Structure 1
Amino acid sequence: MADLRLEDCVNDICPWSGDPVVEDSLTLYKGAVVGFCNTGCRDKFEKAASMFDAVLQD
């Protein structure tokens, strides 16, 4: 997501790997910019978050 910036990220460490976050692996979740160490971790988070959000809305 090109409009997300590393300086707006709420975390410095990837929640999946524990490695530092990088600018090309950011996502927006509930209004917050969340960072990951790579796009694979970001994509895994987006998939898991969407599944949890769907269950909570039911």
Structure 2
Amino acid sequence: MSDRDLRLEDAINETCPWSGKPISADSLTVYKGRTVGFCNPGCRDKFAAAVSQFEASLPEAPEA
């Protein structure tokens, strides 16, 4: 599913986690299988960059 197929009513939040403003239909993404909304594409993209940096900094999980 692409970000273009996401629906505002499926978002788990009503306000942007960065700004606290209402979320917008053009600023949705999927995180851990859930639709998350942001107030604008800039906030959405800032979130994606932060998640990517965080995940890249995690050490490899030891094999069981």
TM-score (norm 1): 0.91
Per-residue CA deviation, residues 11-30 of structure 1 (Å, 9 max, x unaligned), is 00000000000000000111
Structure 2 Cα separation of the partners of residues 54 and 18 of structure 1: 27
Unaligned stretches of 5+ residues in structure 1: none
Map 1:1-58 → 2, pairs under 5 A? 1-56=3-58, 58=60
Q: Which has the higher contact order (CA 8 A, sep 6+)?
A: 1
Q: CA deviation at 1:51?
A: 1.1
TM-score (norm 2): 0.83
Larger Rg: 2
Please tell me the residue identity of whatever aligns with 2:25.
E
Q: What is the aligned residue count? A: 58
Unaligned stretches of 5+ residues in structure 2: none
Structure 2 Cα separation of the partners of residues 23 and 41 of structure 1: 13
Q: Which runs of 4+ in 1 moved over 4 A?
A: none
- Give the alignment's Cα RMSD to 1 decimal: 1.1
